[in-house]
C-alpha cells in the first residue's frame, strides 16, 4: 500500500567511443534513453496500479560496406589499366544505334556482329558516347567516387531513431477469491535507416535508406477465480495490434522516369522523356512504367557482382496493420498426488498489408552473357561463355545486364484462425519423484487472403475463375493460320489456379488436423543418505535429475504469404535475361521484346476471361502444396543439477532437437541442364540463364536429345520430363533428321508446345512459365548439444554464472527462403547458418570489498559494484554459392542452387580478417592447376583463402562439390563491463550510477562474410565489423 517508483536516464555519445575496424573515423553517436515508473494503491488493499514510460532518441552514424567502385579513369571509359577484353559483340546494333558512337570510334561503317571488343575498343578505351546514357546518368548521380585508394568507397551516413512507450497495469480484488487484472502496452517507434538491408536486397552505398514508423499496442484482461482449496480458473482476453503504416518506405522516391533528371545535359542527354522509356516506335512498351506514383516508385535496383549496388531495396515496402484476438481459459485442479491442468486457446488474426515488391525493377550483372565484354576473364572453348572476369563495370557502362526482374503491388487481407487444446498432469509418485505428462492438440487454418487475390500451381489444371482469352489485337492472334485462342497460341497458363477453382480453398491448401503434441517429463531427486550414491549425489535434496521429451508444432508465419502477392493475374512477376538497360523488355539482339504487364495495381473481376499472354514469362514466387503437413520438432533433454555448496550449483545437460517437415523453397520448374547441354552440342547457343529462350533446329539422325517436355498430356497439354531419371519417351534418338521446336527448356515452360510439330509453341518465342517456386515442408534439421553451467547465488557480495555449450546444428534449409536443390533436396544438408559450435558466457556481479565509511566519505566510497557479461563464441558457418548459373537451371530466388568446386588440392583454411589476403584469382594460390603462373596479389580482409574455391573446374550443367555452408566465419570475443554505485539519498530515496563499457577492450569482431564466388574479388571478404567499444553512463533515482 505504498507508492514506489523510479526515474532514469542512459546516455551515450561519440567522445569516449572507439573507432571501428573499417571506419576511417569515429562514428557520430548520440543516444538518450530515459524513463520513469510509478506503482501504488488506488484503493487500499483493493486496487493497485503500476505505470511506466520510456523514451529514446538516437542519432548514429552507420558504417557502410567497403564497396568497389569505378576508378576516376574508368568513369570516363578508360580501362587501360585492366587486362584486355576477351569477349565478342554478338549484337552490333547495340553500338551502331547509339548516336556518336561510331564517330568516336573513328569508324566509317557499322560494326559487324561477332566483332571482338578488343578490336572495337583499342587499349580498353570506351568512348562515353558508346555507353548507355541512362547507366551513365545513374553513375554520375548515385555512385560516389573512391575514398579508399582509387577503387573503393565507404560511407558513414547518419541514422535516426526515436521511440516512446508506456505500460499501465491495474490489479483489483473483486472478492477474496476473485481477482481482475488489466494491462495495456503502447509503443510508437520511428526509425530512419541509412541502408535498407532488409533481406539483403538494398544498396550498399548511401542514398537509399528506408523509413519505418510503427505503433504497437497490446491489451490484456484476465480474471482469476480460486474455487475452494484445490482448484483455480483463469480466463484471459488479449488484443494485439500492430500498425505499420510506414514500413521500410524508401527515403528516396521518384517516378522511375525521373531517376535521370538530376544530371545536367552537359554530362548526359538523358531526361524524363527517354529515361527507362522507349523512343523506338517499333518497340514502344519496353521501358519501366509501374504507374504507382512518385511516392511509391524510385530508382531501379542495380546490382553489380563484386561492386556497387544502387537503387531502392527491391524487396519493397510493406505498409501493414494487424490485429490478433485471443481468448484462453486454464483450469487447474489438485487431486491427491495429481496436479491436473486443462485449457484452451482460440485465436483470430486479421492482417491487412500492401506489398510493393520490386515495383521499380532490378538489374543483375553476373557476366557470361552473349555480349559480355569479358574484361580480364577467359572464354570457355566449349560453350563460348566468359568465366572468371574481374571487372564487370564495362558491362554496366555499356548497358548489358544479365538479368532483369520486376514485380507489382497488391493488397492482401490475411485471415487465419487457430484452436489450441491441452491437458496435463503432474503426478508426485514419491516425494522425490514426479512424472509430468500431457497432450496438446493444435489446429491452425492456412493463411488465407479475404480478397482471394492469391494463386498457386496445380499441374494440368485449368482455371475457370480466370479463363484465358486471346484478343484479336494480340500480336499472337493469327486467324489465317487458325491461331485464335490461347491453346492454339500456346499461352494458356495451365496449372495456375486461384481460390474458387476446383479444389482450391481460400487458404490454397487443406487444413491439417493431426497436430497432436505429446509431452512427458520426469524429475527425480536421489535421497540416498549414505554409501557411494550419497557421496555421488551429495545426500538428500542435493541433486536433481530431469529428463523430458515433447513434440512442438510451428504454423506457417504470416511473412510467407507475401510470396504469393502481386503475381498474375493480380500483378506482373517477371524475370528476363540479356536485356537492354534503358529498355529492359527489349532483348539485346534488338529484335524480340518481352510482354510488359506492369500497369499499377491490378484488380481483375472474378469470372472474367483474362489476356494471360501479357504476363509471360510468368514467375511464381509462391506456390502452396495441396496437402502440406505442419512443421514440427521433437525436443528432448537430460539435465543433472548438483549442489556443490549452499550457494553453488553445477548443471550438466544434453539437449537435442529434430526438426521435421520444415518449410523451404524449391523450384518446381528449373531449366533442364541436359537439354541445354544437348543444345550446346548442336550449336544452338544455350547457356547460363537461357532456360526461357526459344530454340528451333534440325536434330540429325542418330543424335540423342533430352526433351524437357513431350506431347501426349490431357487436353492437348504436354507431359513434363523430369531432370533426373527421365523416362525413355523423353530421350529421343531419331532415325531420320527431325525438326525440333522448343520455347523454353523447363518442364512447364510452354504447356501446349509440341516439340515435333511446333504447334502450340508461342510464336514470339516467349514461354509461359519461368521459375515456379514452392514453399513446402520438405526440409529437416538436427541439433544436439552438451550444456554445462556453474552458478553461484548471491552471497558475500558476489554472484556469477558461467555457461558453456558445445553443439552442432545441421539442416538442408535454415529459413523458408533457403532454396534447396530441385532434384535432390538432401544434397543441401550441411551446417545450419546459425550453428555455433562453441559458446561460453560468464555473467557476474561483485560488490567491491571497500571498507564502510560514514558521512560524505561514505557517500563517495560506499556502494560500488562491478558487473559484466563476457562472451566467447565460435563463428557462424559461411554460405558458399555461385550465381553464374553454371548448373544451367536458370533458377534465381533468394538464393541459387549453384556452388563452386574446391580448388585441386585445396582445403578450407580460416584466416584472421585483420591480416591481408590475396583476393580470388590473384596471388600465388590463384591458379586452377599447380603449374599456372601466379598473378599479382590484390589484398583484401578475408575470413578464408578465396582461392580455396573455383568455378573453372565446375562442368556446365553440374553443381560444384563445395558444401552449402562451411565452418566457419569469425567468432565473438566480447566483454561488457559496468561499474555501479548505489548511494542512499534518504530513508526512501536511493541514487544509482552506472558506467558501462560495451566491447570494453575494443576487440574487432567481424560479420558478413561474402560467400558468393560470383562476386569476384569480394569473395571471402569480410565487409562489416560489429560495434567497437561504446561507453554509456546512467543515473537512476528510486523510491
Q: Say if residue 1016's pLDDT is above 80.
A: yes
Task: Tell me the per-residue pLDDT of 733-753, one tens digit each, with 9 for 90 and over.
Answer: 999 999 999 999 999 999 999
Mean pLDDT on 699-705: 97
Note the pLDDT of residue 268: 64
Note the pLDDT of residue 8: 97
Mean pLDDT on 437-462: 95
Task: Tell me the per-residue pLDDT of 607-633, one tens digit each, with 9 for 90 and over.
Answer: 999 999 999 999 998 888 899 899 999
- Asked if residues 893 and 773 have their Cβ atoms less than 8 Å apart, the reply is yes
Closest CA to 956 of 377, 376, 385: 385
C-alpha torsion angle, residues 741, 745, 746, 747 (rounded to 10): 50
Mean pLDDT on 450-476: 95
Band of pLDDT at residue 540, cut at 50, 70 and 90: confident
Distance CA 705, CA 728 (A): 11
Burial of 1001 (0-12, 13-18, 19+ CB in 10 A): exposed
Please, what is the average pLDDT of the chain?
93
Band of pLDDT at residue 926, cut at 50, 70 and 90: low
- Reported as half-sphere exposure (CB side, CA atoms, 13 A), residue 540 has a value of 7
Note the pLDDT of residue 264: 59
Q: Say if residue 550's pLDDT is above 90.
A: yes
The dihedral of CA 104, 105, 106, 108: what is its sign? negative
**Given the C-alpha cell 557517500, which residue does it identify?**
859
Pairing of strands 648-667, 819-820: parallel
Distance CA 257, CA 287 (A): 9
Pairing of strands 301-304, 362-365: parallel
Note the pLDDT of residue 56: 97
Note the pLDDT of residue 784: 98
- Asked if residues 897 and 822 have their Cβ atoms less than 8 Å apart, the reply is yes
- CA 603 from chain centre, in angstroms, equals 29
Task: Tell me the per-residue pLDDT of 501-534, one tens digit each, with 9 for 90 and over.
Answer: 999 999 999 999 999 999 999 999 998 888 888 8
Task: Tell me the per-residue pLDDT of 256-301, one tens digit each, with 9 for 90 and over.
Answer: 999 987 665 555 667 778 899 998 888 989 999 999 999 999 999 9
Note the pLDDT of residue 327: 98
Strands (E), 700-743: 705-706, 709-711, 718-720, 731-732, 738-743
Band of pLDDT at residue 801, cut at 50, 70 and 90: very high
- Asked if residues 545 and 533 have their Cβ atoms less than 8 Å apart, the reply is no
Note the pLDDT of residue 933: 63
* SS3 assignment, position 725: coil
- Asked if residues 618 and 601 have their Cβ atoms less than 8 Å apart, the reply is no
3-state helix vs strand vs coil in the chain, percent to 5: 10, 45, 45
Band of pLDDT at residue 376, cut at 50, 70 and 90: confident
418 DSSP β-pair partners: 347, 444
Q: Say if residue 963's pLDDT is above 90.
A: yes
Report the share of the chain in percent with pLDDT over 70: 98
What are the CA-CA distances from residue 832 to residues 518, 814, 1022 (Å)?
27, 6, 20
C-beta neighbour count of 251 within 10 angstroms: 15
Q: Say if residue 908's pLDDT is above 60.
A: yes
C-beta neighbour count of 130 within 10 angstroms: 20
Note the pLDDT of residue 1038: 96
Q: Say if residue 538's pLDDT is above 90.
A: no
**Given the C-alpha cell 475457370, which residue does it identify?**
464
- Asked if residues 317 and 214 have their Cβ atoms less than 8 Å apart, the reply is no
Q: Say if residue 389's pLDDT is above 70.
A: no
Q: Say if residue 339's pLDDT is above 80.
A: yes
964 DSSP β-pair partners: none
Closest CA to 35 of 987, 1034, 995, 977: 1034
Helical segments of 810-885, H only: 855-861
Closest CA to 745 of 721, 713, 779, 763: 721
- Reported as half-sphere exposure (CB side, CA atoms, 13 A), residue 22 has a value of 27
Q: Say if residue 962's pLDDT is above 80.
A: yes
Q: Say if residue 432's pLDDT is above 80.
A: yes
Residue 110 carries which DSSP code? P
Note the pLDDT of residue 934: 66
Amino acid at each position: 500500500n505504498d507508492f514506489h517508483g523510479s526515474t532514469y536516464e542512459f546516455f551515450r555519445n561519440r567522445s569516449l567511443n572507439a573507432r571501428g575496424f573499417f571506419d576511417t573515423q569515429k562514428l557520430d553517436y548520440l543516444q538518450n534513453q530515459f524513463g520513469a515508473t510509478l506503482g501504488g494503491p488506488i484503493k487500499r488493499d483493493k486496487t493497485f496500479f503500476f505505470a511506466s514510460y520510456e523514451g529514446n532518441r538516437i542519432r548514429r552514424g552507420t558504417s557502410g560496406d567497403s564497396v568497389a567502385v569505378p576508378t576516376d579513369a574508368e568513369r570516363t571509359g578508360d580501362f587501360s589499366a585492366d587486362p584486355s577484353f576477351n569477349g565478342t559483340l554478338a549484337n552490333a546494333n547495340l553500338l551502331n544505334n547509339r548516336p556518336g558512337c561510331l564517330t568516336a570510334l573513328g569508324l566509317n561503317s557499322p560494326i559487324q556482329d561477332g566483332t571482338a571488343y578488343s578490336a572495337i575498343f583499342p587499349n580498353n578505351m570506351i568512348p562515353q558516347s558508346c555507353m548507355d546514357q541512362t547507366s551513365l546518368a545513374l553513375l554520375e548521380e548515385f555512385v560516389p567516387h573512391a575514398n579508399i585508394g582509387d577503387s573503393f568507397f565507404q560511407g558513414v551516413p547518419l541514422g535516426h531513431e526515436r521511440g516512446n512507450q508506456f505500460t499501465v497495469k491495474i490489479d483489483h480484488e473483486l472478492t477474496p477469491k476473485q481477482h481482475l487484472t488489466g494491462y495495456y502496452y503502447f509503443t510508437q517507434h520511428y526509425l530512419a535507416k541509412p541502408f535498407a538491408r532488409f533481406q539483403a536486397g538494398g544498396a550498399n552505398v548511401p542514398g537509399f535508406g528506408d523509413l519505418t514508423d510503427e505503433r504497437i499496442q497490446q491489451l490484456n484482461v484476465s480474471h482469476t477465480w480460486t474455487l475452494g482449496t484445490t482448484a483455480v480458473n483463469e480466463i484471459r482476453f488479449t488484443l494485439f495490434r500492430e500498425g505499420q503504416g510506414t514500413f521500410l518506405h524508401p527515403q528516396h522516391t521518384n517516378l522511375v522516369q525521373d531517376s535521370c533528371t538530376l544530371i545536367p545535359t552537359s554530362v548526359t542527354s538523358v531526361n524524363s522523356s527517354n529515361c527507362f522509356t522507349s523512343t523506338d516506335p517499333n518497340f514502344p512498351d519496353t521501358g519501366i512504367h509501374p504507374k504507382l506514383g512518385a511516392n511509391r516508385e524510385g530508382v531501379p535496383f542495380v546490382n553489380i557482382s563484386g561492386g556497387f549496388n544502387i537503387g531502392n531495396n527491391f524487396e519493397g515496402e510493406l505498409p501493414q496493420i494487424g490485429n490478433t484476438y485471443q481468448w484462453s481459459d486454464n483450469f487447474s485442479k489438485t487431486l491427491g498426488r495429481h496436479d491436473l491442468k486443462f485449457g484452451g486457446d482460440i485465436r483470430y488474426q486479421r492482417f491487412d498489408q500492401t506489398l510493393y515488391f520490386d515495383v521499380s525493377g532490378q538489374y543483375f550483372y553476373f557476366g557470361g552473357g552473349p555480349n559480355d565484354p569479358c574484361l580480364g576473364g577467359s572464354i570457355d572453348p566449349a560453350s563460348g561463355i566468359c568465366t572468371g572476369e574481374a571487372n564487370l563495370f564495362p558491362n554496366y557502362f555499356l548497358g548489358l545486364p544479365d538479368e532483369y526482374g520486376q514485380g507489382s503491388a497488391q493488397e492482401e487481407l490475411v485471415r487465419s484462425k487457430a484452436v489450441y487444446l491441452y491437458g496435463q498432469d503432474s503426478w508426485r509418485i514419491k516425494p522425490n519423484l514426479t512424472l509430468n505428462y500431457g497432450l496438446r492438440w493444435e489446429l491452425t487454418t492456412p493463411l488465407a487472403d479475404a480478397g482471394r487475390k492469391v494463386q498457386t500451381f496445380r499441374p494440368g489444371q485449368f482455371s475457370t475463375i480466370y479463363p484465358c482469352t486471346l484478343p484479336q489485337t494480340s500480336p499472337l492472334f493469327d486467324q489465317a493460320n487458325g491461331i485464335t485462342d490461347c491453346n492454339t497460341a500456346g499461352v494458356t497458363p495451365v496449372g495456375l489456379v486461384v481460390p474458387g477453382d476446383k479444389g482450391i480453398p481460400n487458404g490454397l491448401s487443406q487444413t491439417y488436423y493431426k497436430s497432436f503434441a505429446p509431452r512427458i517429463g520426469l524429475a527425480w531427486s536421489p535421497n540416498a543418505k549414505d554409501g557411494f550414491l550419497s557421496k555421488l549425489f551429495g545426500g538428500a535434496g542435493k541433486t536433481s535429475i530431469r529428463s523430458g521429451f515433447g513434440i512442438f508444432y510451428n504454423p506457417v508465419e504470416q511473412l510467407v504469404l507475401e510470396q504469393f502477392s502481386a503475381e498474375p493475374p493480380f500483378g506482373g512477376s517477371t524475370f528476363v535475361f540479356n536485356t537492354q538497360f534503358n529498355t529492359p523488355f527489349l532483348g539485346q539482339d534488338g529484335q524480340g521484346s518481352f510482354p510488359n504487364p506492369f500497369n499499377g495495381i491490378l484488380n481483375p473481376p472474378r469470372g472474367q476471361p483474362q489476356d494471360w499472354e501479357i504476363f509471360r514469362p510468368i514467375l511464381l514466387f509462391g506456390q502452396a502444396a495441396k496437402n502440406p503437413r505442419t512443421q514440427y520438432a521433437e525436443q528432448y533433454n537430460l539435465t543433472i543439477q548438483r549442489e556443490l555448496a549452499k550457494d553453488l550449483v553445477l548443471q550438466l545437460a544434453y539437449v537435442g532437437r529434430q526438426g521435421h517437415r520444415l518449410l523451404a523453397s524449391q523450384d518446381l520448374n528449373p531449366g533442364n541442364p541436359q537439354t541445354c547441354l544437348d543444345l550446346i552440342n548442336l550449336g544452338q547457343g544455350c547457356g547460363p540463364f537461357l532456360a526461357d529462350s526459344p530454340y528451333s533446329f534440325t536434330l540429325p539422325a542418330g543424335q540423342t536429345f533430352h526433351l524437357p517436355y513431350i506431347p501426349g498430356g490431357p487436353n492437348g497439354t504436354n507431359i513434363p520430363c523430369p531432370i533426373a531419371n527421365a523416362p525413355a519417351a523423353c530421350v529421343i534418338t531419331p532415325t531420320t533428321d527431325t525438326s525440333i521446336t522448343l520455347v523454353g527448356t523447363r518442364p512447364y515452360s510452354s504447356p501446349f508446345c509440341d516439340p515435333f510439330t511446333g504447334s502450340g509453341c508461342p510464336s514470339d518465342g516467349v514461354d509461359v512459365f519461368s521459375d515456379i517456386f514452392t514453399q513446402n515442408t520438405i526440409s529437416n534439421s538436427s541439433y544436439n548439444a552438451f550444456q554445462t553451467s556453474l552458478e553461484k547465488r548471491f552471497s558475500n557480495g558476489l554472484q556469477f554464472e558461467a555457461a558453456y555449450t558445445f553443439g552442432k546444428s545441421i539442416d538442408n534449409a535454415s529459413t523458408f527462403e533457403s532454396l534447396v536443390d530441385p532434384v535432390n533436396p538432401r544434397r543441401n544438408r550441411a551446417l545450419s547458418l546459425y550453428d555455433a559450435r562453441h559458446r561460453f558466457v560468464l555473467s557476474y556481479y561483485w560488490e567491491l570489498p571497500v571498507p564502510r565509511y560514514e558521512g560524505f566519505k561514505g557517500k563517495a566510497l560506499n556502494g560500488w559494484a562491478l558487473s559484466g557479461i563476457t562472451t566467447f563464441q565460435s563463428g557462424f558457418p559461411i554460405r558458399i554459392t555461385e550465381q553464374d548459373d553454371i548448373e544451367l537451371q536458370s533458377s534465381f530466388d533468394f538464393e541459387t542452387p549453384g556452388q563452386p568446386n574446391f580448388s585441386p588440392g585445396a582445403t578450407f583454411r580460416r584466416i584472421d580478417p585483420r591480416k591481408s589476403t590475396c583476393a580470388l584469382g590473384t596471388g600465388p594460390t590463384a591458379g586452377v592447376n599447380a603449374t599456372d603462373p601466379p598473378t599479382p596479389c590484390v589484398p583484401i580482409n578475408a575470413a578464408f583463402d578465396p582461392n580455396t574455391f573455383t568455378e573453372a573446374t565446375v562442368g556446365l550443367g553440374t553443381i560444384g562439390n563445395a558444401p552449402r555452408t562451411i565452418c566457419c566465419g569469425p567468432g565473438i570475443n566480447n566483454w561488457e563491463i559496468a561499474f555501479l554505485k548505489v548511494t542512499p539519498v534518504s530513508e526512501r530515496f536511493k541514487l544509482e550510477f552506472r558506467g558501462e563499457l560495451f566491447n570494453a577492450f575494443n576487440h574487432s569482431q567481424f560479420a558478413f562474410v561474402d560467400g558468393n564466388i560470383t562476386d569476384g574479388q569480394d569473395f571471402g571478404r569480410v565487409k562489416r565489423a560489429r560495434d567497437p567499444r561504446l561507453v554509456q553512463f546512467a543515473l537512476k533515482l528510486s523510491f
